[in-house]
């Protein structure tokens, strides 16, 4: 059977583009414009307008210029280098034409096909390289603008700024060059094989002289690049090694592996010289084989076998003695990178007996004990203060205010608009009418109504305040739930708040938003947002503005893309009554030598160097510089210019509400549990390692004992707002220490660790929780509530430092069957081995520390229901029997009112029960 293929050696006939080909090209160009060019231009234009609105143009322009330059340079270098090498290796134009079918005359013109293919492949590879390279715009800018840290690494003596700013860019550039060289080498080999310049014989491979020199040059360049990577990058990576019992270069790394890396680097240069020699001697294959095998063998021996043997047979049997100096370096670097070296330590006596005088002397602490859990309070706010289905409370935050002359801790939550809950969802409602949330709910952390509900300082719509703090600008256009764009200044009135049977409307008068009154602007945003309503709606006027990127975290991350942000933004009511969001911005790095990484396994350096303030009405973004000594933020300032505002310019009413960031405090305390040990021997044996107190299974909070509190720290004269957490010894339940982050005035940002003596027993949260569970009186009361159709919710156990001792407080909530509102019903108070339960915190403290309260070794049940109160074993006289009967009647009426949902009557009857029981107590 004859072959369908035939070689045609005649002249190559030029072909002209047919009309159908021109049509295909036009269609492809149109698709490219519609799917790539137009969307990019629209995104570019809308981003520019948004950055100009918030006055962060330098971030947009410099990142854009850096991306564009890297795209052009990386793509250009890749194309010139790769395609240039392929062009040298591609077949000549007189290569025979392959005829696919002699009868039809269909030909495969190899001479024309391969050049076009190599050109297309070169463009594609260059495009990919350009895209990857442009994504490295921030390392490139940090390389150019990095500032010195002023500290040297302990292994090479380089300034740490080299690792933070220069090494990432150098490593990226070397990796790119290695990739380009590999692609060029592989493609050139294929093309030379197509030409027939590389011949595979049974026992050898032959290469013509010119191709051999070309391929030899590429292979030699590859070895040189490998050597550069080893000398600069791989040796530096030892500073983050995990070979030994630490992060950083260990004994084996510093004494053996580093030498092996340098030997391999020299071997790479020798391999390159060997390849060049082989190419010149026309014996490339043989010498290239020797170079590759030799380089690989030296690398395996010097960088794998010898270091492993050193670690196993020399270091491991004497690990502590060998690693002691490197442990010291690791401990010091970790404490420096995470700012643990600035934590002050104080020793406590631990066995201090508290009295009522001590309780009274710490009245600000007692007056601000947090009895309401934030999750439960959020549910209560949702039932009592959402008012309409389209309002939601996204979160509840702790803060402190001077209220009517008193320093008070409060819970604060923004009432935001949730457009997903609108009864009718359409363009008019979602984009023009329902544009903003309204006001806040504020409650003290420790006050309860007679019905067991939180007292509300600020409530309702429009916000009504019963205290000295007033909200004068309650509209929330920018928040945590504002994930969609809206239009203001339109022909449609904006819904403000409901007022009985009617609605109150408003018009936006802030500075936020991008003008969209002209037809080109409307067309631009219609294209970008995919909504023809923007183009066709008659409600949009010349003064109309579009508000987008209204979610505060998204807004901050877009404006400052080089920062990480804390997961808990918080709202502040200023002295003028405006609402401002505060977000904590972090500068982070994974390149601090010898430092331990965080829980993500990557980050090993963090600073809270920026506080971002976003106006809930205007959306204005101000980034305040809080740590000007941070080398990372100094580098960002050098890159982007004057985007940071000095901390001194922050208004006093905002500075008074700054909080120590929660995510950072959690990371620091988790590390400090181990890195408070600075002695390398103690660190190696972990003999004094701490941990967070043990918690019950199913608790959503990883550390429920970490919380904000107003208290007077030991040795201090005035109360202050702090963030604190206790520690227990690893594997034990007694307390070892507690740590506080201070937040007020000049003490903001200071960390203090208070340590209990090791020889004394200080009960920990788990031990106290067990004692509470073992108390018969308390368990009986909880069982009684559960049996009556209600569910008992145990609040988180609060650790309250008082002087140099501790008390524990646990609120108990009751939720009626089928109900959604939890009510605070009892408070458990404990000190050392004594536990009491009472209706209020004050009653519990009085029972615990009042006259004669120190004697009972078991729990005292104060002011509880008569059905479970235990009376003395002495005979009960007639008057006592009458009081018992009266208490039973009040109790029965209270239970009837509870089942009927009449909480006012329930509160009155329970109060009567307490009154009668107090009379009984007085007659004992």
Using an 8 Å Cβ cutoff, are 833 and 463 in contact?
Answer: no
For residues 126 and 105, give the distance between their C-alpha atoms in angstroms, rounded to a whole number. Answer: 36
Q: Which of 590, 584, 556, 566 is nearest to 139 (CA)?
A: 590
**CA-only gyration radius of the chain, Å:** 37
**Mean pLDDT score, 813-834:** 86
- The pairing of strands 751-755 and 344-347 is parallel
For residues 300 and 216, give the distance between their C-alpha atoms in angstroms, rounded to a whole number. Answer: 24
Token digits of residue 574: 């200023």
pLDDT of residue 12: 46
752 φ, ψ to 5°? -135, 135
pLDDT of residue 114: 82
882-897 residue pLDDT tens: 677 677 777 767 766 6
Q: Which of 771, 763, 697 is nearest to 732 (CA)?
A: 763
pLDDT of residue 585: 97
pTM of the entire predicted model: 0.86
477-528 residue pLDDT tens: 999 999 999 999 999 999 999 988 889 999 999 999 999 999 999 999 999 9
710-763 residue pLDDT tens: 999 998 989 999 999 999 999 999 999 999 999 999 999 999 999 999 888 889
Q: Which of 550, 438, 423, 555 is nearest to 485 (CA)?
A: 550
pLDDT of residue 702: 64
pLDDT of residue 97: 46
Token digits of residue 313: 């047979």
- pLDDT band at residue 853, thresholds of 50, 70 and 90? very low
Residue 86, pLDDT above cutoff 90 = yes
pLDDT of residue 92: 67
Residue 96, pLDDT above cutoff 60 = no
For residues 749 and 660, give the distance between their C-alpha atoms in angstroms, rounded to a whole number. Answer: 6
Token digits of residue 474: 């309650």
Distances (CA, A) of 416 to 131, 410, 428, 787: 40, 19, 19, 38
The residue with greater pLDDT, 703 or 154, is: 154
Using an 8 Å Cβ cutoff, are 809 and 753 in contact?
Answer: no
pLDDT of residue 699: 53
Q: Which residues pair with 831 in a beta bridge?
A: 834
**Mean pLDDT score, 345-371:** 88
pLDDT of residue 875: 33
Residue 869, pLDDT above cutoff 90 = no
Using an 8 Å Cβ cutoff, are 424 and 401 in contact?
Answer: no
Residue 549, pLDDT above cutoff 70 = yes
Q: Which of 579, 540, 142 is nearest to 399 (CA)?
A: 579
For residues 458 and 456, give the distance between their C-alpha atoms in angstroms, rounded to a whole number. Answer: 6
Buried b or exposed e, range 141-157, using 16+ CB within 10 angstroms: bbbeebbebeeebbbee
pLDDT of residue 898: 59
For residues 910 and 895, give the distance between their C-alpha atoms in angstroms, rounded to a whole number. Answer: 9
Residue 900, pLDDT above cutoff 90 = no
Residue 111, pLDDT above cutoff 90 = no
382-414 residue pLDDT tens: 989 988 889 999 999 999 999 999 999 999 999
For residues 213 and 80, give the distance between their C-alpha atoms in angstroms, rounded to a whole number. Answer: 19
180-238 residue pLDDT tens: 999 999 999 999 888 888 887 777 888 888 999 999 999 999 999 999 999 999 999 99
Average pLDDT, the chain: 88
The whole-angstrom distance between residue 832's C-alpha and the CA centroid of its chain comes to 38
Token digits of residue 548: 């987008």
Q: Which of 684, 712, 660 is nearest to 343 (CA)?
A: 660
Using an 8 Å Cβ cutoff, are 421 and 392 in contact?
Answer: yes
Token digits of residue 73: 């340079």
Distances (CA, A) of 905 to 250, 781, 825: 71, 21, 15
Residue 470, pLDDT above cutoff 90 = yes
Q: Helices in 676-775 by DSSP H: which ranges?
A: 680-685, 765-774
């Amino acid at each position: 059977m004859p072959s369908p293929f035939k070689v045609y050696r005649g002249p190559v006939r030029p072909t002209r583009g047919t009309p159908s080909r021109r049509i295909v090209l036009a269609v492809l160009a149109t698709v490219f414009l519609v799917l790539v060019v137009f969307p990019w231009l629209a995104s570019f234009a809308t981003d520019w307008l948004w950055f100009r609105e918030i006055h962060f143009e330098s971030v947009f322009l410099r990142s854009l210029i850096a991306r564009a330059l890297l795209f052009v340079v990386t793509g250009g270098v890749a194309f010139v280098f790769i395609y240039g090498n392929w062009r040298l290796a591609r077949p000549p134009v007189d290569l025979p034409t392959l005829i696919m079918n002699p009868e039809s005359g269909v030909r495969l013109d190899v001479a024309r096909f391969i050049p076009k293919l190599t050109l297309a492949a070169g463009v594609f590879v260059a495009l990919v390289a350009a895209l990857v390279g442009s994504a490295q715009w921030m390392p490139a800018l940090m390389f150019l603008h990095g500032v010195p840290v002023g500290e040297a690494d302990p292994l090479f003596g380089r300034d740490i700024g080299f690792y933070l700013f220069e090494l990432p860019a150098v490593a990226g550039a070397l990796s790119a060059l290695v990739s380009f060289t590999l692609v060029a080498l592989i493609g050139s080999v294929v093309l030379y094989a197509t030409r027939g310049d590389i011949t595979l014989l049974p026992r050898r491979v032959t290469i013509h002289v010119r191709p051999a020199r070309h391929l030899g040059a590429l292979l030699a360049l590859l070895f040189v690049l490998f050597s550069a990577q080893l000398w600069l990058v791989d040796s530096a990576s030892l500073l983050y090694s995990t070979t030994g019992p630490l992060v950083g270069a260990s004994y084996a790394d510093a004494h053996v592996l580093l030498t092996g890396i340098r030997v391999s680097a020299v071997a790479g240069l020798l391999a390159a010289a060997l390849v060049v020699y082989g190419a010149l001697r026309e014996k490339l294959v043989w010498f290239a084989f020797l170079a590759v095998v030799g380089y690989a063998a030296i690398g395996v021996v010097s960088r794998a076998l010898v270091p492993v043997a050193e670690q196993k047979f020399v270091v491991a049997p004497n690990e502590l003695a060998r690693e002691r100096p490197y442990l010291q370096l690791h401990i010091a670097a970790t404490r420096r990178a995470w700012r643990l070296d600035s934590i002050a330590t104080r020793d406590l006596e631990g066995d201090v007996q508290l009295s009522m005088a001590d309780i009274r002397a710490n009245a600000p602490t007692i007056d601000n004990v947090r009895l309401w859990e934030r999750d439960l309070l959020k549910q209560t706010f949702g039932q009592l203060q959402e008012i309409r289905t389209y309002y939601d409370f996204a979160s509840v935050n702790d803060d402190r205010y001077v209220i009517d002359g008193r320093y008070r801790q409060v819970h604060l939550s923004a009432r935001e608009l949730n457009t997903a809950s609108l009864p009718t969802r359409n363009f008019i409602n979602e984009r023009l009418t329902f544009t903003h949330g309204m006001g806040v709910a504020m409650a003290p952390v420790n006050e309860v109504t007679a019905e067991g509900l939180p007292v509300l300082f600020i409530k309702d719509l429009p916000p009504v305040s019963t205290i000295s703090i007033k909200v004068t600008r309650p509209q929330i256009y920018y928040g945590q739930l504002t994930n969609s764009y809206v239009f203001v200044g339109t022909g449609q009135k904006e819904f403000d708040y409901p007022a009985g049977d009617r609605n109150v409307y408003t018009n936006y008068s802030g500075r936020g938003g991008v003008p969209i009154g002209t037809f080109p602007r409307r067309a631009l945003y219609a294209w970008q947002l995919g909504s023809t309503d923007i183009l066709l709606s008659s409600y949009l006027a010349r003064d109309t503005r579009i508000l987008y990127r209204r979610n505060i975290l998204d807004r901050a991350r877009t404006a400052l893309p080089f920062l990480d942000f804390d997961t808990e933004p918080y709202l502040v009511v200023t002295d003028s009554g405006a609402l401002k969001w505060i977000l904590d911005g972090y500068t982070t790095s994974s390149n601090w030598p010898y430092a331990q990484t965080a829980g993500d396994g990557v980050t090993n350096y963090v600073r809270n160097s920026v506080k971002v303030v976003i106006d809930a009405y205007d959306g204005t973004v101000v980034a305040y510089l809080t740590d000007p000594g941070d080398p990372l933020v100094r580098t960002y300032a050098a890159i982007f210019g004057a985007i940071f505002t000095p901390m001194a310019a922050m208004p006093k009413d905002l500075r008074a509400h700054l909080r120590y960031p929660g995510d950072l405090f959690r990371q620091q305390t988790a590390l400090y549990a181990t890195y408070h040990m600075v002695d390398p021997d103690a660190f190696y044996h972990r003999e004094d390692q701490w941990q967070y107190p043990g918690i019950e299974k199913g608790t959503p909070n990883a550390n429920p004992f970490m919380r904000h509190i107003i208290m007077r720290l030991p040795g201090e004269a005035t109360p202050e707002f702090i963030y604190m957490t206790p520690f227990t010894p690893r594997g034990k339940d007694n307390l070892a220490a507690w740590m506080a982050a201070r937040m007020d005035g000049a003490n903001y940002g200071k960390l203090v660790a208070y340590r209990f003596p090791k020889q004394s027993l200080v009960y920990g949260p788990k031990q106290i929780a067990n004692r509470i569970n073992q108390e018969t009186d308390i368990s009986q009361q909880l069982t009684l509530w559960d049996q009556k159709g209600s569910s008992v919710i145990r609040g988180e156990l609060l650790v309250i430092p008082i002087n140099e001792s501790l008390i524990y407080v646990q609120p108990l909530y009751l939720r009626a069957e089928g109900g959604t509102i939890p009510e605070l019903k009892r408070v458990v108070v404990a000190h050392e081995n004594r536990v009491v339960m009472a209706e209020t915190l004050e009653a519990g403290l009085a029972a615990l520390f009042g006259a004669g309260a120190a004697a009972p070794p078991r729990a005292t049940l104060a002011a509880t229901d008569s059905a479970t109160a235990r009376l003395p074993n002495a005979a009960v006289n007639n008057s006592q029997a009458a009081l018992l009967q009266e208490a039973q009647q009040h109790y029965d009426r209270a239970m009837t009112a509870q089942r009927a949902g009449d909480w006012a009557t329930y509160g009155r009857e329970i109060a009567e029960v307490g009154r009668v029981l107090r009379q009984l107590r007085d007659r004992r």
